[in-house]
Amino acid sequence: MVMDWQKKRVVVTGGAGFLGSFVVEKLQERGCREIIVPRSREYDLRNRDAIVKLYEVTRPHIVIHLAAVVGGIGANRRNPGRFFYDNAIMGIQLMEYARQFGVEKFVAIGTVCSYPKVTPVPFKEDDLWNGYPEETNAPYGLAKKMMLVQAQAYRAQYGFNAIYLIPVNLYGPRDNFDLETSHVIPAIIRKCVEAKESGRDEIVLWGDGSPTREFLYVEDAAEGIILATERYNGEFPINLGTGEEISIRDLAALISEETGFAGRFVWDKTKPNGQLRRRLDVSRAEKLVGFRARNSLRIGLQKTIAWYVEARKAGKAVNP
């Protein structure tokens, strides 16, 4: 299928954020002329009236819903109620009023955190409902998974074209490097760069380093989302990832090598590890969407580290 982006008006919630900024760039590369990025100061997407106003003003053909309230393990533990409510209410109301306003297609972005705590590896989309998510991020994961239920229910009752995508952990330039709320890759990068600059020879990391994770370079994720928007109109969720996993301990060693940090890591085993393993089955994305990640983890890390170091040198604010 070919989509004529020049004739489409697209709302990208979270379009000024980390992933969203790359999605907007991909749309621009494809010739999309009308891209609306609602900003929180004008549109509080938890508020019904703000969503109605957004749709009345913009009348979009497509909505790509990327906005989320999200953070690492620590942030999830501190804000379970907020992470559940804000994410659930945004998704539910955005999709409901998209239906009412005759939006042609709604692209809902879920999270790998929705998978059950104990899931056979690699995670297959059919396993989404075979257990409760890992406790530290269950409220966030379940709130995002409600969009899958809503999308399938709306398709069945109203014929509404909503699709649901599940990206694995993302990283890349423009990521959140705030140590209070960041995910593991930007946190380790920042700690390594700062330790090297200050001459420290020791860095403390959470857990014992044994859990494995799969990471997807942000530009690859954006390409996967656009391909799915162009090519997929089905009811089934689709994983977006690389299909490869690495232990946090090996990840830290790789980042240490790429940043030039020559010190050692101290593992704080009083802190939680999170889910023991994460690796996606990405065969559905390749079959139905034609998506395959282009950047290896090492190449993606090199690009991310180079961006972060350059941003610091330029004196740009890269989170507190």
Under 8 Å CB-to-CB from 56, ≥6 apart: which residues?
A: 101
Under 8 Å CB-to-CB from 115, ≥6 apart: which residues?
A: 123, 127, 128, 133, 141, 275, 278
CB burial class (10 A; 0-12, 13-18, 19+) of residue 49?
exposed
pLDDT digits 0-9 by tens, 76-103? 788 899 999 999 999 999 999 999 999 9
3-state helix, strand, coil in the chain (%, to 5): 45, 15, 40
**Residue 158 appears among annotated catalytic residues:** no
Sequence letter at residue 86: D
Choosing from 55, 140, 217, 232, the catalytic residue is 140
* CATH class of the domain defined by 5-172+214-244+277-294: alpha beta
pTM of the full predicted structure?
A: 0.94
Q: Output the pLDDT for position 28.
A: 98
Domain range summary for the chain, segments of one domain joined by +: 5-172+214-244+277-294
pLDDT digits 0-9 by tens, 237-253? 999 999 999 999 999 99
Tokens 């200050």 belong to 198
Q: Where are the alpha helices (DSSP H) in the chain?
A: 18-29, 48-58, 73-78, 80-100, 138-158, 184-198, 218-231, 248-259, 283-288, 297-313
Q: Output the pLDDT for position 301.
A: 98
State both tokens at 80.
């379970």
Q: List the chain pLDDT tens, one digit each, 320 residues.
A: 579 999 999 999 999 999 999 999 999 999 999 999 999 899 999 999 999 999 999 999 999 999 998 777 777 788 899 999 999 999 999 999 999 999 999 999 999 999 999 999 999 999 999 999 988 889 999 999 999 999 999 999 999 999 999 999 999 999 999 887 788 999 999 999 999 999 999 999 999 999 999 999 999 999 999 999 999 999 999 999 999 999 999 999 999 999 999 999 999 999 888 778 899 999 999 999 999 999 999 999 999 999 999 998 887 766 65
